[in-house]
Structure 1
Amino acid sequence: MALKVYRASAGTGKTYRLTLMYLNLLLGNSARFDPRAFYGILAVTFTNKATDQMKARILNTLESLAAGEASALGNDLCRETGLPFEELVSRAVTVHKTLLHNYSWFSVSTLDAFFQRVLHSFVMEAGLDTGYSVDTDTEYLLDKTARRMITRIPQDDSLRVWFTDLINEKIARSDSWDAFRLLRQVGYQATRESFRTMGEAFAGKISDRDFLRDFIGKYQQIIQDFEQRMATWGTMAQNLISAGGFSAADFPNKDKSFARYFEKISDSHPAVDSFIPGKRVLDALGGTQTVWYNKSSPPGLEKMQQVLMPILGSIQDYYKSHYPLYATAVAIREQLPQMGLLADVITTMRQVQQEDNTLDIGDSTYLLSQLAGDGNTPFIYERIGAGYDSFLLDEFQDTSYLQWKNMYPLLVNGLSQGADSLIVGDVKQAIYRWRNSDWKILGEEIAKDPQLIRQGVDFFSLNTNRRSYREVIGFINLLIDKILGTLSETIREKTAACDNLEEGDRQYFEHLLFNAYLDHTLYTPAGAADDPPGYVRVNTFSSEGEDSVTLKTLSALQDLLVSLLSRGYDPSDILVLVRTRENARIITRHFLQSAVSQNGEGFQLPQVVSDDSLYLASSPAINLVISLLRLAHYRHDACNARAALSILSDFGKPEVMDDREFLDRLRFLPLADAFEAIVQRMDWTGDLEAIPYL
């Protein structure tokens, strides 16, 4: 009996493996069979949708087996259980009937749902009110907390003084000082699992404003000393260049010459990375002649090398010895002042939750870890009336530290009693770091855990992709190989530049990515038919002249879309994936404007459908209604007048702007009648695009 760990990429049969393992535990083997074995099995995945899919897969497979239908899964079950197919069918009939009659004991859930189930049994111990609800909208909680904090600031002298000093300090550094955003950031830090695990003592200490004021003052002095020393050398070098009758642009590479480095480090508000010497600066330090002067240099420039080299050497020596501490001090200065608001934000957040009788979804994991403590875990989970021995954990790369801490004792306890468990995951798909997921649990810690090793851990890789075309698989393999090589080389360069890094740590970082992506190469099934021809094209863009990267990207995307349509593809065959919502808005707006400007020439760009395009604010008709109503009441609002004229021109009715009688009538009509008048004036009653929004 052992823990089986599968590293499995998308499309390699993770759900198949989970279903096989679950049915293997249900149907037993020649030595054991318990129709109620599912009482002791907990299958866990990450989303409710995946939970429903896993339940359906298990039930459908059981039903097929009970009906005597042959399948690849049935053959695998015969091999793993050692049972003949007839016996497997007989047991499947019994188990299927038993499971349906005791469906509430069929435990397939998300980790959050499982923890909530446990926490409901400890409402009093956890200090919760009965009937509380779980709030999954952390953003709403942060917004409500920030707004309440803003109303508190004028009434709390200590909070007002600290907050004012913080804002003034940000203004002095030309940083963003949006109060609402600042408070949300502090609230976000308070909800992070990494902060919770530091304990109450740390939270109390970092919320002590007197302690923070002294601590920040020490690091502010480090920053000032470093910047002043570097600025002195930078100014000295610029003065020597000027005294020689030259400027930084006289050196080779003109405005990008190494001498620009002196100007950057002399700036009154330097960025933290301004002090990092670039390649040309390092070449100058190494005595490379081509960065000091060339044939087209002004006469006498070659003498500046001897003049500037001592200063450049002093700057480099000081940079190597003091920059790590300076960069640390800057990072502390950016974060710690906000932590002075932490206690107030946490208190306000708890008040909001108490009033709404809600619990943030991240709090349940933390509260459960506090209740369990050291050695109490089996009792905690027994209280819910379920004794699980086998655990099937899906999408394990998205598990957080506290979630693993809560599940770990159960897993070890089950293994020690001879029960099998399964973990499936893929570090390449660790996309929930915003939910505190830690891929290193799967990638590193399980293989090193002494208790798990003692109980037995077997590692497997699923690397045959049955979902994607051969061209896609080949592209992904090539892409990962290239990225691994490039990033690993970058890591090696950075670790080589760190003089105070121990050799063990250096080796760890240099091999981090290769170990994480071990056995990443995917293959297609043997004997698979040839895929239809296709290709993956990668374009990169750089900003040149007046054309920005965004404009170039939009133009290339539009050309590609027109090309696909001309080759016979339907709009429904095309999907555009983007990184952020803002990217989606930019692309949607561009396509809508391009569709209007085409005027029926060439291939018509299709209507773009996205979440943002379905908002009322995305409708030109709605925006025009609002603009006209504002114009009727505020004639002197020039900004709104220009907006209304622009939208009216797009609709082909700019003359409405000059219809004073119509605008005056809107002003005195009830809102509903004014809206109806605009619809009639614009002839929208038959406009199929405008009506759904109107």
Structure 2
Amino acid sequence: MPATFRIYSSSAGSGKTYQLTKEYLKLALGSEDPAYFKQVLAITFTNDAAGEMKQRIIGALRKFAYPKAGETDALLAGVAEELAAEGLLPRRTETAEERQEEVRRRARETFRLVLYHYADFAVSTIDSFVQRIVTAFTRELELPATFEVELDTDAVLQTAVAALLDKVNRDPNSQLLARTLTEYALSRADEGKSWNNLPDELAGFGQFLFNETVHEAVAQLQTLTLQDFRRLHDTMRQRREAIENLFREVGTLATEALAEAGVTDADLYQGRSGIFGYATKWEERLLPDKEANSYVRTTLDQDKWYSGKVKTAADRQRVDAAKPVLQTAYDQFEKLRDVLLPQYLLLTAMQPYLFHASLLSELNKIVEQVSRERNVVLISEFNRRIAAIVLKEPVPFLYERLGERYAHLLIDEFQDTSVLQWNNLLPLVENSVGKDNLNLAVGDAKQAIYRWRGGEMEQILRLHQGDTAALAARATEPETRRLLQERYQGLQGRLEPKSLNVNYRSAAEIVDFNNEFFGHLRTQHPDFALVQDLFEPGFRQTVPGRTSPPSPLSRAPHPLAPSPKGEGELALDSSSKNSSGSPLSFSGEGAGG
């Protein structure tokens, strides 16, 4: 079974855009049909990247079609030879010149059609592609027939928060909501904190409504009502109080026993810093960093109980009488901390956000109402609306027409693609792979910068490793997990990992430093599986002229080997200085686009 989904791990400066352009040209020119480019969908992340890719593809087609006299083209030669090796050129093209001329002929016809049918030249951002789907299926996605895309989610959220607070004053049916807000304000006052910033807090927490990373958890929270959250709040509060009472009881018994024996902190080793303070300060036993200190352990391990002020036999007798009580208090506190402290800390961490979570559903209803009134759809809604269909249907009808139209899918900057975006694209890839068509994804997990808006670098890492089971297992809903497992099953045996490790952009010293740095990170964090996979030795970079990447611990200088200036090559002359006085001079068109 041929590998038809190629995963490129492309390090910085290694010619990612160059490789994408080359693969696109091979697909577009590998067919006798000059309109075949219409069946290739290339997706990238930003408008600038999409514009650059379009410019490179069209520029290459024009250069192929209308070459300058006497000019050699390394990209043309590479495309022609690879197409011939794959059997996509006529057998009559026996020489390199004949093969290149055939590619030029095809390029002229394709270039002309691209100009006349530019709208079918499918190179766009992922957001633009998603918007096209949404626009074509407004009824199925339960959207207005005519709507505007709203990019400013903050403005809509601020309006929704204001409407929610206003609802308390105007709606007689909002007594539970009013009570919830009142109790929150009082709790903030009891903590000595201001409640005047309530609108800002709600708006900040409301951002989770638009966060793709936690959309499944938010959707589950929205199934709960305000009454459900009140019951949950009461249950959590009661459980916290019960745990506190258990700790208080141990501390109270110890305090009373010490008072009855007439023992004070001055009688015991290290006073309040020792066993006396440990047994009587029960509130501190509920803090994670207030475990028994060295003084307490010295008292118990070395039987060192008396302070320097204990001189007489009567004093020692008083302290001896308190020993069993203090020993029992220590044992009980240690057992309580071991069993109940993790639960107590979790409840303590959750409770401040329970109020915000209880209002998410109410806030989301108002956001939807504001959007309907303004006839807008938030751009963050697109992927969720599509996922609501794509992740529930084995053959999503949204892609029936697109699946027939696009035979190949090329995805750029894959490390910044969110889980929702990839899950929405997966049916297209699965359909194309099922027809033995080439697809590819390009990215570098080390360059992921969009995690704040849902980008998930682990996706390209696991696909490069062929570990699709790990990706399917991330889904929390059993039905979604089952459907993803079925779709990934179609990719088994079809994944082809590739690496672009030659850095055409940076000097050898920079490349060596990066290799050492990432190698050091991997050595220092052996227990973090993701770090081990991300910086495994196969991801090290090299520079032109080296046969293999250097060892991550190598410190020997490796000057760049001189190379002829030309397309896709980098020349470095360390003996001359440029106009700024730098001893390094770079020239040539780098492939590290």
- Residue 459 of structure 1 is matched in structure 2 by 497
Q: Is 2:133 the counterpart of 1:118?
A: yes
- Residue 474 of structure 2 is matched in structure 1 by none
Asked whether the 8 Å contact 1:4–1:422 carries over to 2, the reply is yes
Q: Using the alignment, how far apart are the partners of 1:282 and 1:425 within structure 2?
A: 51
- Residue 7 of structure 2 is matched in structure 1 by 5
| 1:407-422 map, 5 Å | 407-422=425-440
Paired residue secondary structure (1:340): helix
Deviations 1:264-315 (A, max 9, x none): 8625xx9x8x32456x84896598989x99xxx9577999997866544433
Q: Using the alignment, how far apart are the partners of 2:32 and 2:189 within structure 1?
A: 71
Which of 229-238 and 189-198 deviates more?
229-238
1:334, CA displacement in angstroms?
2.7
- Residue 185 of structure 1 is matched in structure 2 by 204
- Residue 103 of structure 2 is matched in structure 1 by 88
- Residue 370 of structure 2 is matched in structure 1 by 352
1:330, CA displacement in angstroms?
2.4
Q: Is 2:399 the counterpart of 1:400?
A: no
- Residue 61 of structure 1 is matched in structure 2 by 60
Q: Is 2:480 the counterpart of 1:480?
A: no
1:91, CA displacement in angstroms?
2.3
- Residue 243 of structure 1 is matched in structure 2 by 264
1:260, CA displacement in angstroms?
8.1
Asked whether the 8 Å contact 2:519–2:535 carries over to 1, the reply is no
Q: Using the alignment, how far apart are the partners of 2:408 and 2:294 within structure 1?
A: 59
What's the C-alpha RMSD, in Å, of the aligned pairs?
4.0
Q: Using the alignment, how far apart are the partners of 1:104 and 1:380 within structure 2?
A: 20
Paired residue secondary structure (1:468): coil
| 1:188-587 map, 5 Å | 188-194=207-213, 196-197=215-216, 202-206=220-224, 208-230=225-247, 243-245=264-266, 266=283, 274-276=287-289, 281=293, 285=297, 311-372=329-390, 374-375=392-393, 377=395, 379-383=397-401, 387-444=405-462, 447-449=467-469, 450-454=488-492, 456-489=494-527, 510-518=528-536, 519-526=538-545, 528=560
The one-letter code sitting in structure 2 at the alignment partner of 1:448 is T
Q: Is 2:147 the counterpart of 1:132?
A: yes
Aligned residue-pair number: 500
Asked whether the 8 Å contact 1:285–1:309 carries over to 2, the reply is no
Q: Using the alignment, how far apart are the partners of 1:78 and 1:319 within structure 2?
A: 71
The one-letter code sitting in structure 1 at the alignment partner of 2:64 is L
Q: Using the alignment, how far apart are the partners of 1:468 and 1:164 within structure 2?
A: 59
Q: Using the alignment, how far apart are the partners of 1:186 and 1:115 within structure 2?
A: 26
The one-letter code sitting in structure 2 at the alignment partner of 1:130 is A
- Residue 14 of structure 1 is matched in structure 2 by 16
Q: For 1:152, which of 167, 174, 178 is the aligned residue?
A: 167
Q: Using the alignment, how far apart are the partners of 2:10 and 2:281 within structure 1?
A: 48
Q: Using the alignment, how far apart are the partners of 2:177 and 2:129 within structure 1?
A: 39
1:115, CA displacement in angstroms?
1.1
> Taking structure 1 as reference, are residues 58 and 249 closer, same or farther at Cα in structure 2, changes over 3 Å only?
farther
1:209, CA displacement in angstroms?
1.8
Asked whether the 8 Å contact 1:285–1:312 carries over to 2, the reply is no
The one-letter code sitting in structure 2 at the alignment partner of 1:458 is E
> Taking structure 1 as reference, are residues 347 and 531 closer, same or farther at Cα in structure 2, changes over 3 Å only?
farther
The one-letter code sitting in structure 2 at the alignment partner of 1:170 is R
Asked whether the 8 Å contact 2:268–2:275 carries over to 1, the reply is no
The one-letter code sitting in structure 2 at the alignment partner of 1:422 is L
Q: Using the alignment, how far apart are the partners of 2:509 and 2:251 within structure 1?
A: 54
Paired residue secondary structure (2:544): coil
- Residue 506 of structure 1 is matched in structure 2 by none
> Taking structure 1 as reference, are residues 214 and 34 closer, same or farther at Cα in structure 2, changes over 3 Å only?
same
Q: Using the alignment, how far apart are the partners of 2:281 and 2:573 within structure 1?
A: 55
Which of 141-150 and 44-53 deviates more?
141-150
- Residue 41 of structure 1 is matched in structure 2 by 40
Q: Using the alignment, how far apart are the partners of 1:287 and 1:523 within structure 2?
A: 60
Asked whether the 8 Å contact 2:37–2:110 carries over to 1, the reply is no
What's the TM-score, normalizing by structure 2? 0.73
Q: Using the alignment, how far apart are the partners of 1:45 and 1:407 within structure 2?
A: 13
Asked whether the 8 Å contact 2:43–2:123 carries over to 1, the reply is yes
Q: Using the alignment, how far apart are the partners of 1:246 and 1:151 within structure 2?
A: 62
1:397, CA displacement in angstroms?
1.7
1:139, CA displacement in angstroms?
2.0
Q: Using the alignment, how far apart are the partners of 2:379 and 2:280 within structure 1?
A: 50
1:526, CA displacement in angstroms?
2.2
Asked whether the 8 Å contact 1:447–1:453 carries over to 2, the reply is no
The one-letter code sitting in structure 2 at the alignment partner of 1:180 is P
Q: Using the alignment, how far apart are the partners of 2:194 and 2:543 within structure 1?
A: 51
The one-letter code sitting in structure 1 at the alignment partner of 2:461 is G
Asked whether the 8 Å contact 1:484–1:513 carries over to 2, the reply is yes
Asked whether the 8 Å contact 2:275–2:299 carries over to 1, the reply is no
Q: Using the alignment, how far apart are the partners of 1:281 and 1:388 within structure 2?
A: 67
Q: Using the alignment, how far apart are the partners of 1:78 and 1:258 within structure 2?
A: 82
Q: Using the alignment, how far apart are the partners of 2:515 and 2:280 within structure 1?
A: 45
> Taking structure 1 as reference, are residues 214 and 447 closer, same or farther at Cα in structure 2, changes over 3 Å only?
same
Paired residue secondary structure (2:380): helix
Q: Using the alignment, how far apart are the partners of 1:10 and 1:260 within structure 2?
A: 57
- Residue 573 of structure 1 is matched in structure 2 by none
Q: Using the alignment, how far apart are the partners of 1:93 and 1:259 within structure 2?
A: 90
Paired residue secondary structure (2:42): strand
Identity %: 27
